[in-house]
Amino acid sequence: MKIASVEAIPVTYPEPNDFNAYRHLCLAKITADDGQVGWGESITMWPEASRATAAVIDGMAELLVGKNPVNIDALYRSIKDHSWWYGYEGGIASFAVSALDIALWDLRGKAMGCSVTELLGGPVHDRLPAIASSHAHHSSIPEMAEEAQEWLSTGLQGMKVGFGKRGNANLGFEHDRDVEYVRAMREAIGPEKMLMVDMGVKIRWDVSTAVKRCLAFDEHNLTWIEEPLGAWDPEGYATLRSKTETLIAYGEREWTLQGFERLLETGTVDVIGCDPGRADGITGFKKLTERVEYYRRQSNAHAWSSAIVTAASLAISFSSSSCKLFEFKPLENPMQHELVTNPFDHIDGWVYPPTGQGLGIEVIEEVVDRYRL
């Protein structure tokens, strides 16, 4: 098998889980000379990042055409090395590498007749707990608590909520409202379910605010708090960690293994987030999970875009003992439920290893065309 063509496809779609905002992705489609196709994705978020990623993918294409997609490590190294000047420590180059790498793994699985999970060494979990991962949108706390109850009534085993997001929730800005929200949510979902809160980029707590909030949240048994001090604040995180008991999650804004290693070395991150559509694909995320296992911390997939990144994230999550759960967006949405013939879902709160060759998904090209930027 040889790679015949590489295409970058920027798409944009309304996301019901994000107050119907239009979000952007740049997909990669790699076609082999026998007609088999591999799909990849980068989670670019904004149109200019999608267009720039598409340009980088177009430039990297000539390194792949004519090559055997089975030789994935060599191909990964060639595109990574090619971006030595403009991609040092990540950025747009890592979006392009991510999309191409995921598509190569998909194609490699199809060429070899096995799933990506099998290519990664096979599943180390029989199943993983599934939780709802959403943004808080409504102004009424009881209404948000009721909505959470409804989502978790399907069996989902917990709830992660983004603060400081679009909509009218106004969470992350006032101590009393935040604590009342966490109290009401814990009461609504019960003591057994997981509950995480995730600070969006609009929230700029200082260290003492973060300590005060976390101490108040501790009473309601948070499973973890995510990015309370943003992407990089080693001294702040060390202080927070010394004064509170809640697990601290961050890392999803890193691009490369070196960046993740810097976080792990601080000893302040308990749950390290990673998006394969950002951090050098399946190859990048897999390398990270090995480091996280060494540090005896938890890895968590930031899979909040299309079914392609969900499939890639599931394959890695099932291949590493450091991954403990999996997040699903609770509301149906185009990039999960229209894009593929068999959308991913949980069964009574559990998710099982993906089956089928490659990523185990069948992308519907008319849907891709409908959402082209």
Q: Which of 41, 198, 254, 327: binder of Mg ion (CB under 5 A)?
A: 198
Instruction: Give whichever of 30 and 271 is closer to Mg ion, judged by the CB atom.
Output: 271
Instruction: Give whichever of 94 and 300 is closer to Mg ion, judged by the CB atom.
Output: 300
Phi, psi of 320 (to 5 degrees): -130, 135
Phi, psi of 3 (to 5 degrees): -75, 125
Ordered alpha helix ranges (H), the chain: 47-64, 72-82, 92-112, 116-119, 141-152, 175-189, 207-218, 234-243, 257-266, 281-295, 307-319, 334-337, 365-370
Encoded one letter per residue, x for contact with Mg ion by CB under 5 A and - for no contact, window 208-237 reads: ------------------x-----------
Distance of CA 331 to the CA centre of its chain: 17
Give the torsion through C-alpha atoms of 142, 184, 305, 73, to 10 deg. -170
Least Å distance, CB 133 to Mg ion, is: 8
Question: In angstroms, rounded to a whole number, what is the distance separating the alpha carbons of residues 245 and 5?
Answer: 51
- Count of alpha carbons within 13 angstroms of residue 275, beta-carbon side: 25
Neighbour-count burial of 207, counting CB atoms closer than 10 A to its CB (0-12 exposed, 13-18 middle, 19+ buried): middle
Span interacting with Mg ion, options 2-10, 33-41, 179-187, 191-199, rule CB under 5 A: 191-199
Instruction: Give whichever of 100 and 272 is closer to Mg ion, judged by the CB atom.
Output: 272
Q: What is the DSSP letter of 68?
A: -
Instruction: Give whichever of 15 and 226 is closer to Mg ion, judged by the CB atom.
Output: 226
Least Å distance, CB 196 to Mg ion, is: 9
Q: Does 327 bind Mg ion (CB under 5 A)?
A: no
Contacts of residue 170, defined as CB under 8 A and 6 or more positions apart, other chains included, come to 139, 177
Least Å distance, CB 98 to Mg ion, is: 17
Instruction: Give whichever of 52 and 274 is closer to Mg ion, judged by the CB atom.
Output: 274
Residue nearest to Mg ion (CB): 198
Least Å distance, CB 182 to Mg ion, is: 17
Instruction: Give whichever of 160 and 193 is closer to Mg ion, judged by the CB atom.
Output: 160
Least Å distance, CB 198 to Mg ion, is: 4
Region 88-127 residues binding Mg ion, contact defined as CB under 5 A: none
Question: In angstroms, rounded to a whole number, what is the distance separating the alpha carbons of residues 67 and 60?
Answer: 13
Least Å distance, CB 160 to Mg ion, is: 8
**Residues near Mg ion (CB under 5 A):** 198, 226
